[in-house]
């Protein structure tokens, strides 16, 4: 899995669309053909194909070799890269940040009180 920031940008950009995220959600249930993917969206096949191209170039899906069906399959490596990137921010909401903030306030409080006096 590449850690090139542009790979991450391409992934995030591809994910920044509700239809493309819905396609990934469908593929998380199993592989599907373009026709199967188009059905629930009441969308033209060319429109779905355009979304699939964006997902494919971001590495979020791969497509089968069979010329007629070319089933689409979810590829999770780019999502895992997003997950890794988010990891550095997770401390802000998993509780460890509150503890760190309390600690920092404790450290800086005496100086702030000194200024007021």
Positions that interact with its own copies (CB under 8 A): 5-6, 8-13, 15-18, 21, 24-25, 28, 74, 76, 79-80, 82-83, 85-86, 88-90, 92-93
Q: What's the CA gap between 109 and 49, in Å, rounded?
A: 58
Q: How many CB atoms lie within 10 A of CB 24?
A: 19
Quick one: 10 or 56, whose CB is closer to its own copies? 10
* CA–CA gap between residue 111 and residue 20 (Å, rounded): 52
Q: Nearest distance from residue 15's CB to its own copies, in Å?
A: 5
Closer to its own copies by CB, 90 or 99: give it: 90
Closer residue to its own copies (CB): 10 or 43: 10
**Min CB(10)–its own copies separation in Å:** 8
Measured CA to CA, the distance from residue 29 to residue 31 in angstroms comes to 7
DSSP state of 112: H
Q: Provide, rounded to whole angstroms, the least separation between the CB of residue 78 and its own copies.
A: 10
**Closest separation in Å from C-beta 61 to its own copies:** 13
Which lies closer to its own copies via its Cβ, residue 67 or residue 86? 86
Largest Cα span, the chain: 80
Gap between the Cα atoms of 31 and 17, Å rounded: 20
């Amino acid at each position: 899995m590449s850690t090139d920031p542009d790979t991450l940008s391409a992934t995030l950009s591809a994910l920044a669309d509700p239809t493309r995220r819905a396609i990934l959600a469908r593929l998380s249930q199993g592989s599907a053909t373009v026709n199967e993917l188009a059905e629930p969206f009441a969308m033209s096949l060319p429109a779905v194909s355009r979304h699939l191209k964006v997902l494919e170039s971001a590495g979020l899906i791969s497509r089968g070799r069979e010329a007629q069906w070319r089933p689409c399959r979810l590829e999770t490596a780019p999502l895992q890269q997003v997950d890794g990137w988010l990891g550095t921010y997770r401390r802000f909401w998993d509780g460890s940040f509150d503890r760190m903030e309390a600690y920092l306030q404790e450290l800086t409080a005496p100086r702030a009180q000194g200024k007021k006096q």
